[in-house]
């Protein structure tokens, strides 16, 4: 018996070494951790339970049968993050460059099937050179099997991808279909075709970092939701995100003990909106002052900064926040901000995360680049997402809510549950100046008359009361008491049940 146990231990030892000491050193020298080290950092201490440690590939071409390392380049299993279950796979770059073989894919598929069955998130740590070329189509089939499972798991369990090395070609499509992608600065990149192919085909000269590095994907392409300085920071922040997320689409959002009075009054909010309606202010300050302990986990911080998306907690329980940011492009809606917010709203709705919307929007960004880019359909995405969402929806208009953008931003008409406004709110078809110039076109030459008309329009519409008179605004609230009012609103919605008519699925304007 003892011998048998010893044999097990030595086989395990061998498997744990992955591609061996030398390759591990190379991995470290690149500032990257190994697949197992990453799992250690991601999960609670000693909580990892591994599957398929001894799986090896079945390829016999090109001399592959001579090297059959245990595990086949990916480590899979489950463990806990602060005691809550997650499934995880971590690609091992030290074994065949983390390349994906048929068996490698099967290992991933196994834990994904279990995750869906058992209702726990899947976290993929990607560090792979791509398909195992020696296996040919078997490897491609492996990818597709993973893709199909990503699709089936979407909206059932949260899926998070962390790109911690190369991720190119077909490999990018698995992360692309997960809920969140995070990247590690300087050591990860993602692209469909690499710099060499780009050069051959289009004559463009571009580095891997420029083409698909963390900065590119967080600032320009919006493929990634966040970027971190190194592996350690990335994994610790993924843990922080998981603390916000429900385990699956049937479980409630997590609640944890909190140290912030739901009734906290913040007098400084009474002066947040500047006197001059054209002066910006930082919407992040409002989010921080509404949230428990000022804690805001921002998603896509670097992209479309005119809208803010992310998670906070109210009374310990997760709430998704969408907020116009007057500091950037006056907080207008445009193609990028609509896409960004729409995707976030749909994630929240899929996982029963209540949504808080903070509105200060002067309208949609005008211009040919917007219209040629299809702002109509992109703007409609956000409208659609809000309208189909059945989660608790609380909206607070702090200042401007003009035109169609008013409708889009979780208005009463899109089944908003609580639609609050600050006394500084202006709910109108457009700004007073623009409105006056249309209504009183005949007086355009007379500056004095126009000024008078503008003042009249402001008196009539630059306030929340016209909307409140019609019940489009449920209540005009004092800014300093917003936290209390919003907390109570969500508290009252804890048992909200709302169902959309049966359909196979809607046809969101993709």
Give the tokens for residue 8. Answer: 């097990």
Contact 410/368 with Cβ under 8 angstroms? no
Catalytic residue among 155, 373, 404, 434: 404
Query: Which of residues 209 and 237 has its CB atom nearest to another protein in the complex?
Result: 237
Of 228, 303, 384, 402, the one binding another protein (CB under 8 A) is: 228
Instruction: Identify the active-site residue in 70, 119, 138, 170.
Output: 170
Which candidate in 120, 291, 385, 405 is catalytic?
405
What minimum distance in Å lies between the beta carbon of 285 and another protein? 5
Q: Which helix (H) or strand (E) covers residue 144, if one does?
A: helix 137-153
* Whether 170 is catalytic: yes
**Closer CB to another protein, residue 292 or residue 417?**
292
The candidate with the shortest Cα–Cα distance to 279, out of 421, 397, 452, 424, is 424
Residue 119 or 404 with smaller CB distance to another protein: 119
Catalytic position from the list 130, 169, 363, 379: 169
Task: Please confirm, yes or no, whether 405 is among the known catalytic residues.
Answer: yes
Among positions 199, 252, 460, 470, the unique one binding another protein when judged by CB under 8 A: 252
Binding span for another protein by CB under 8 A among 165-173, 251-259, 358-366, 390-398:
251-259
Q: Which is nearer to another protein, 184 or 408 (CB)?
A: 184
Q: Answer yes or no whether residue 231 interacts with another protein by CB under 8 A.
A: yes
Looking at beta carbons only, is 241 or 421 nearer to another protein?
241
**Binding of residue 249 to another protein (CB under 8 A):** no
**Could you give the CA distance from residue 347 to residue 158 in angstroms, rounded to a whole number?**
9
- Segment interacting with another protein, rule: CB under 8 A, options 43-51, 196-204, 362-370, 410-418: 43-51
Pick from 15, 18, 35, 40 the residue near another protein by CB under 8 A. Answer: 40
Answer for the pair 125, 91: CB distance below 8 angstroms, yes or no.
yes
Q: How far apart are CA 302 and CA 223, in angstroms?
A: 11
- State yes or no: residue 293 binds another protein (CB under 8 A): yes
Is there binding between residue 285 and another protein (CB under 8 A)? yes
Report the C-alpha gap between 122 and 110 in whole angstroms: 11
Rounded distance between C-alpha atoms, residue 186 and residue 109, angstroms: 29
Q: Each residue of 74-93: b (16+ CB within 10 Å) or e? A: bbbbbbbbeebebbbbbbbb
Instruction: Please state whether beta strands 307-314 and 355-361 pair in parallel, antiparallel, or not at all (unpaired).
Output: unpaired
CA distance 71 to 108: 11
Mask: binding to another protein, 98-127, rule CB under 8 A, as x and -? ------------------------------
In the complex, minimum distance from the CB of residue 247 to another protein, in angstroms, rounded to a whole number:
6
Shortest distance in whole angstroms from residue 31 CB to another protein: 4
d(CA 411, CA 418): 9
Report the 10 Å Cβ neighbour count for 52.
21
Stretch that binds another protein, among 103-111, 270-278, 339-347, 447-455 (CB under 8 A): 270-278
Give Rg (Cα) of the chain: 26
CA dist., res. 408 & res. 383, Å (int):
5
- Of 455, 393, 377, 465, the closest CA to residue 423 belongs to 465
For the chain, report the end-to-end CA distance as a whole number of angstroms.
61
Structure tokens of 367?
A: 């211009």
Binding of another protein by 301 (CB under 8 A): no
Question: Residues with catalytic annotation?
Answer: 169-170, 404-405
Give the residues lining the site for another protein (CB under 8 A): 28, 31, 33, 37, 40-41, 44-45, 47, 80, 82-85, 185-186, 228-233, 236-237, 243, 246-247, 251-252, 254-260, 267-272, 275, 281-282, 285, 292-295
């Amino acid at each position: 018996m003892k011998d048998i146990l010893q044999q097990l231990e030595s086989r395990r030892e061998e498997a744990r070494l992955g591609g061996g000491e030398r390759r591990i050193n190379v991995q470290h020298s690149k500032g990257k951790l190994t697949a197992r080290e990453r799992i250690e950092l991601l999960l609670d201490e000693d909580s990892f339970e591994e599957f398929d440690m001894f799986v090896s590939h079945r390829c016999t071409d090109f001399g592959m049968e001579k090297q059959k390392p245990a595990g086949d380049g990916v480590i899979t299993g489950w463990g806990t993050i602060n005691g809550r279950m997650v499934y995880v796979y971590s690609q091992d770059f030290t074994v065949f460059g983390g390349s994906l073989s048929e068996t490698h894919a099967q290992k991933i598929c196994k834990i994904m099937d279990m995750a869906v069955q058992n209702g726990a998130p899947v976290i993929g740590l990607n560090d792979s050179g791509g398909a195992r070329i020696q296996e040919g189509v078997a490897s491609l089939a492996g990818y597709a099997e993973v893709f199909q499972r990503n699709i089936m798991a979407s909206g059932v369990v949260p899926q998070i991808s962390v790109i911690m090395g190369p991720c190119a070609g077909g490999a990018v499509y698995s992360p692309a279909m997960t809920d969140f992608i995070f990247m590690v600065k300087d050591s990860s990149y993602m692209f469909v075709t690499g710099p060499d192919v780009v050069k051959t085909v289009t004559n463009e000269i571009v580095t891997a970092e420029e083409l698909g590095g963390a900065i590119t994907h967080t600032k320009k392409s919006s493929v990634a939701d966040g970027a971190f300085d190194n592996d350690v920071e990335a994994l610790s922040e993924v843990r922080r995100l998981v603390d916000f997320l429900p385990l699956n689409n049937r479980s409630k959002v997590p609640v944890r003990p909190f140290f912030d009075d739901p009734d906290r009054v913040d007098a400084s909010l009474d002066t947040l909106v500047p006197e001059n309606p054209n002066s910006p202010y930082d919407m992040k300050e409002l989010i921080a002052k509404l949230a428990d302990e000022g804690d805001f986990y921002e998603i896509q911080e670097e992209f479309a900064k005119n809208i803010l998306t992310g998670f906070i907690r109210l009374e310990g329980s997760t709430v998704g926040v969408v907020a116009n940011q007057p500091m950037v492009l006056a907080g207008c809606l445009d193609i990028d901000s609509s896409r960004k917010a729409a995707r976030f709203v749909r994630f929240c709705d899929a996982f029963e995360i209540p949504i808080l919307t903070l509105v200060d929007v002067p309208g949609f960004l005008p211009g040919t680049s917007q219209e040629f880019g299809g702002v109509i359909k992109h703007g409609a995405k956000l409208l659609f997402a809000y309208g189909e969402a059945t989660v608790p929806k609380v909206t607070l208009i702090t200042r401007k809510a003009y035109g169609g953008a008013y409708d889009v931003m979780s208005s009463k008409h899109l089944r908003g549950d609580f639609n609050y406004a600050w006394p500084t709110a202006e709910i109108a078809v457009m700004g007073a100046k623009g409105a006056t110039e249309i209504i009183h076109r005949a007086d355009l030459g007379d500056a004095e008359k126009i000024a008078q008309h503008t003042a009249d329009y402001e008196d009539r519409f630059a306030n929340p009361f016209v909307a409140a008179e019609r019940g489009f605004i449920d209540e005009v609230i004092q800014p300093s008491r917003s936290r209390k009012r919003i907390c109570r609103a969500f508290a009252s919605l804890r048992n909200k049940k709302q169902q959309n008519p049966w359909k196979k699925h809607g046809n969101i304007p993709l």
